[in-house]
Amino acid sequence: MGIVKLSIVMPVYNEAATLRQIVELVQRVDLGTIERELILVDDCSTDGSIQLLGELEGATSIDPQGKPFDYPIQVIRHERNQGKGAALRTGFAHTSGDFVIIQDADLEYDPSDYRKLLDVVRESGARVVYGSRFAGESRNMSFHHRFGNHMLTAITNLLFGSRLSDMETCYKLFEGPLIRSMEIRSPRFNFEPEITAKILKRGIQIWEVPITYHGREFAAGKKISWRDGFAALWALAKYRFVD
C-alpha cells in the first residue's frame, strides 16, 4: 500500500523539559519519500511549553546541523486543560495524512520506530497498527504500571475477542480517513480503550509490531496514575455495549 503523507499528532501538557528534543527526534526520522506534517496540541500548559511551541512553530530550523524543516509544524492551543483524549481529538481533526500516528511529548518512545509500523501497512495493507512495548524492548516500567497494562489488555481481549499484547501503547498508527471518522468522547487517558474498542467493534484488525520503550517516573513528569486505570476499565465495559 502506498503511503504519501504521514500526520504526527503530539499532545503537549507541561513538557518543556523534553519538548524541543522530541521534536528534533521526530524531525530526524528518515521516512524516505513519505511527506509528513507535525501537529502539536498544547493542553493549556503552565510550565513554559507554550513559549517553546511558539519558537518551534515559527522556526526555520531546530536541527543542531542547521537542517531546515522539510514539513509543516502546526501548533494548536487549548484555552483550558481538557486532557490527552481531548488534545488528540483536536489534533486528529487538523490532520490531512493518509495515515496518522500519535507521539507523546516525552522521551519514552523512539520515533525511529515509525518505520516499523509503516512497514506493516506496506506489507499487509493494515489499516491500524499498534507498537507493542511488551513484544519489544521495554525498560524502566514499574511493576504496577506493567501489571495494570497487562490486565487492561487481557480484559480488552476477553471483551472483544482480540489478541493484543499492549492496548495502552502510545504508538497507534491509523488510516487517516478512519481516525478522522471516529467520534472520540473520552477526554483523558481513557481515549486508549475507547478508540481500541471502537476499531475492534467495526471488525477492523489491529496489527502489532515490537517497539522500544524507556519509561519515566512520576518525578520526571509521568502523568498517568492508578485512577486512570479504573477509568480505562469503565471505558472498556462501556464501549463494549455503546457506540
CB-neighbour burial class of residue 55 (10 A; exposed 0-12, middle 13-18, buried 19+) = exposed
Per-residue CA distances from 144 to 106, 152, 169, 225, 229 (Å)? 20, 12, 16, 10, 11
Q: CA–CA separation, 238 vs 90, rounded Å? A: 23
**CATH (domain of 79):** 3.90.550.10
Q: Does 131 score more than 90 pLDDT?
A: yes
Q: What is the pTM of this model?
A: 0.90
pLDDT above 70 as % of the chain = 88
What does the pLDDT read at residue 216?
A: 59
Q: CA–CA separation, 156 vs 240, rounded Å? A: 9
Residue with the larger pLDDT of the pair 235 and 159: 159
Q: Does 199 score more than 80 pLDDT?
A: yes
Q: For 114-143, what is the mean pLDDT? A: 91
Residue 185: domain span = 5-241
Select from 5, 21, 73 the least CA-distant residue to 42. 73
Rounded to 5°, angle at Cα 206 from 28 and 241:
130
How many structural domains is the chain composed of? 1
